[in-house]
A and B are shown apart, each in its own frame.
Chain A
Amino acid sequence: MTDQNINKNIQAGLKRRYRSEYRFRGYGLLAIGLALSFLIAIFVSIASMGWSAFQQTAIELEIYFDPAVIDPTGSHDPQDISGADYRGLVKASLRRQFPAVRNRREKKQLYRLVSSGSGFNLREKVQKDLGLIGQTRKIWVLASDDVDMHNKGRDVGARLSTYQIDIINKMSEAGIIKKRFNTRFFTSGDSREPELAGILAAFMGSLFSLTVCIALSFPLGILTAIYLEEFAPKNRWTDLIEVNINNLAAVPSIVFGLLGLFFLLNILEMPRSAPLVGGLVLALMTLPTIIIAGRAALKSVPGSIREAALGIGASPIQAVFHHSLPLAMPGMLTGSIIGMAQALGETAPLLMIGMVAFIVDVPQTVLDPATALPVQIFLWADSPERGFEEKTAAAILVLLGFLFCMNLLAVVLRKKFERRW
Chain B
Amino acid sequence: MIACSTVAVFTTVGIVVSLLLEAIRFFKSVPVSDFLFGLVWSPQTAIRPDQIGSSGSFGAVPLLAGTFLISAIAMSIATPVGLFSAIFLAEYATPRIRAIVKPALEILAGIPTVVYGFFAALVVAPLLRNTGEAVGFDISSESALAAGLVMGVMIIPFVSSLSDDVITAVPQNLREGSYGLGATKSETIRNIILPAALPGIVGSLLLGTSRAIGETMIVVMAAGLSARLTANPFESVTTITVQIVTLLTGDQEFDSPKTLSAFALGLLLFLVTLILNVIALQVVKKYRVKYD
Contact = CB atoms under 8 A, between A and B. Distances in A.
Interface of A: 17-18, 20-21, 23-25, 27-32, 34-36, 38-39, 41-42, 45-46, 49, 219-220, 223-224, 226-228, 231-232, 240-241, 244-248, 250-256, 258-259, 261-263, 266, 284, 287-288, 291, 341, 344-348, 351-352, 354, 356, 374-375, 377-378, 381-382, 389, 392-393, 396, 399-400, 403, 407
B22 to A, nearest CB: 6
Contacts of A42: 111, 115-116, 119, 153
B7 A352 contact: no
Contacts of B278: 247
A403 B109 CA distance: 12
Contacts of A231: 1
B9 A240 contact: yes
Contact of B108 (A38, A244, A381, A403): A38
A245 B14 contact: no
B117 A27 contact: no
B2 A377 contact: no
27 contacts: A18-B184, A21-B187, A25-B185, A30-B84, A31-B80, A31-B88, A35-B108, A41-B123, A45-B119, A227-B2, A232-B5, A244-B9, A245-B8, A247-B278, A250-B210, A252-B214, A254-B216, A258-B248, A259-B15, A262-B19, A284-B11, A287-B7, A348-B113, A348-B220, A352-B244, A356-B249, A396-B114
Contacts of A251: 15, 214, 270, 273-274
A348 B8 contact: no
Contacts, number: 235
Contacts of B84: 27-28, 30-32
Contact of B12 (A31, A35, A248, A346): A248
A189 B131 CA distance: 38
A347 B112 CA distance: 8
Interface in B40-85: 80-85
A375 B186 CA distance: 46
A247 B277 CA distance: 7
A258 B18 contact: yes
Interface string B77-117: 00011111101110010000000010011011011111111
Contacts of A38: 108, 153, 156
B23 to A, nearest CB: 10
A346 B112 contact: yes
A352 B265 CA distance: 14
B211 to A, nearest CB: 8
B145 interface: no
| Chain A contact residues, majority secondary structure | helix
B216 A252 contact: yes
A175 to B, nearest CB: 34
A34 to B, nearest CB: 5
B269 interface: yes
A327 B225 CA distance: 51
B221 interface: yes
A261 B115 CA distance: 24
Given A31-B84, A258-B19, A223 B4 contact: yes
Contact of A378 (B82, B117, B210, B269): B117
Contacts of A341: 110
A35 B186 contact: no
B245 interface: yes
Contacts of A347: 112-114, 216-217
A46 B115 contact: yes
Nearest to B250: A356
B215 interface: yes
B262 interface: yes
Contacts of A354: 249
A393 B89 CA distance: 32
B108 A46 contact: no
Interface in B108-137: 108, 110-119, 121-123
Contact of A291 (B8, B21, B185, B241): B8
Given A39-B107, A263-B14, A20 B266 contact: no
A218 to B, nearest CB: 11
Interface residues of B, number: 80
B35 interface: no
Nearest to B89: A32
A266 B189 contact: no
B76 to A, nearest CB: 13
Contacts of B221: 378, 381-382
A266 B255 CA distance: 11
B79 to A, nearest CB: 10
A252 B270 contact: yes
A110 B106 CA distance: 51
Given A248-B8, A356-B249, A254 B266 contact: yes
Given A255-B266, A345-B113, 8 more contacts: A24-B190, A45-B123, A224-B1, A226-B1, A241-B9, A248-B12, A250-B273, A255-B270
Interface string B274-292: 1001100100000000000
A221 to B, nearest CB: 8
Interface centre among B9, B118, B254 (most CB of A within 10 A): B118
A223 B5 contact: yes
B238 interface: no
B141 interface: no
Contact of A32 (B2, B8, B85): B85
A389 B122 contact: yes
Contacts of A247: 12, 274, 277-278, 281
A106 to B, nearest CB: 35
Given A248-B11, A263-B18, A352-B248, A227 B115 contact: no
B214 A253 contact: yes
B201 interface: no
Interface centre among A250, A352, A396, A399 (most CB of B within 10 A): A250
A240 B160 CA distance: 29
Contacts of B110: 341, 345, 403, 407
B6 interface: yes
